[in-house]
Chain A
Amino acid sequence: MNPELRRALAEALLALADDEMILAHRDSEWSGHAPILEEDIAFANIALDEMGHAQLWYRLVAELRDKDPERLPDRLVFRRPASAFRNVRLVELPKGDWAFTIVRQHLFDSIELARLARLAQVGHAPLAQTAAKILNEERYHDRHTRAWMRRLAQGTDESRARIRSALDLAWPKTAQLFLPIPGEERLLEAGVWVGGATLAGAWYAAESGFLGELGLDIEPLPAESEGRDVHTEHLEALLTEMQSVARLEPEAAW
């Protein structure tokens, strides 16, 4: 793989890694606070899985940049300012109520599942293998969040109202997950990437079917133009907390 292609692929994988990392952090905020003990454990598992996926992607980023895969992931997570993160805005929104948490996780996971299924087939073995490994775990997340979606959407008046307002907040923000990543064209030409544009149609059809069964109507996805370098004010606050310990003693060995 030529240097230019390696740089572009590292940039694309950084976006996936940052999505997973920031979502993992938001999910981890439920530890000790989920609705019941069993779900607390289940959701902490999901948070840890997402963090594990972020780590796998960060390691690939390190390899593509000829950096130490043991050290670069920590540097990327704990030393970068908000402006250098490439996550979508959906994952940085505050954790909200349980309905919002489930809606966001479901939307994110179902899109991720579609992307991973295709990435597992691309012509760059480390990427395809990592995607296949993550895909296996995401199948379980998808099943878990769909089970919750059904129960909240078909539960009580209150749960229906909460899931409706959660969807109203999260839905327009999913559009960003389908935007091309800068430099994506040459990755597509080289057959090592899956563009969001190719996923959007099938995902939208399946998702509107699923939500329709639950009595949840949705609008077409809005046009989104602001890229992954634009963040809400929530990311800054999240990073201040997430990086606080690492900043206390930057040279500490863990």
Chain B
Amino acid sequence: MTDTQWPRYEVFVQERPGRPHQHAGSVHAPDDEIALQNARDVFVRRPECISLWVAPAAAITGVTAQELAERGAAPEAQADGDDHAFEVFAKVEQRGTLIHIGQVAASSAAVALAASRRLADANGALVLWVVPSGRVTRSDEADVAPMFAPASTKAYRDQAFYHVQTALQRMRRSRQP
């Protein structure tokens, strides 16, 4: 079967200043600009967002801690070409999501992963992702008002706005003999 979906992008949300960007999920989009807009519409329905990043899933290289440990004994990945920046994301809790833990300079994703181990060990990472910084599309400062601020006045998008639970409990109680 042919996959007719648009390419997948991974979405990272920063909720507050001083907090890392955190993986929120993924969206499909035909290109970077639409990916950022789709990410806003799908993942910023609640007000906690001050910055949004999207990266094509195809540009992300990921490994588990176990794979990383197995590679530990292997020779360091060979450099190929000039260094450029990679963003590093790590999952540090079993039930947690990937968070941005920093940046490394490397000539390839394999070298970036090897270089990330230092950051990862400090964070106790279970899963690591690296993505070339140039492939990450970021919201600008100027986007905060039109893209994210309106969500703060839209309480109806939050499930707590709807008193369905309370109403159901009341209905159940009234049915009890």
**Chain A residues within CB distance 8 Å of chain B:** 36-39, 41-42, 45, 48-49, 52, 136-137, 139-140, 143-144, 147, 151
Contact = CB atoms under 8 A, between A and B. Distances in A.
Interface string B135-159: 0000000000111011000100000
A136 B146 contact: yes
B150 A38 contact: no
A24 to B, nearest CB: 14
A39 B27 CA distance: 10
B145 A38 contact: no
Interface in B16-70: 27-30, 33-34, 37-38, 40-42, 45
Contact of B146 (A38, A52, A140): A140
Given A36-B6, A38-B28, A147 B33 contact: yes
B147 to A, nearest CB: 6
A48 B33 CA distance: 23
B-side interface mostly: helix
A151 B31 CA distance: 10
B150 A144 contact: no
Size band of the B side of the interface?
10 to 19
B41 A147 contact: no
A42 B40 CA distance: 8
A139 B38 contact: no
Contacts of B150: 49, 136-137, 140
B7 to A, nearest CB: 12
Closest 7 CB pairs of A and B: A42-B41, A139-B146, A38-B38, A140-B146, A137-B150, A38-B27, A41-B41
Given A36-B6, A38-B38, A38-B41, A136 B149 contact: yes
17 contacts: A36-B6, A37-B28, A38-B28, A38-B38, A39-B38, A41-B42, A42-B38, A45-B41, A136-B149, A136-B150, A137-B150, A140-B40, A140-B146, A140-B147, A143-B146, A147-B33, A151-B30
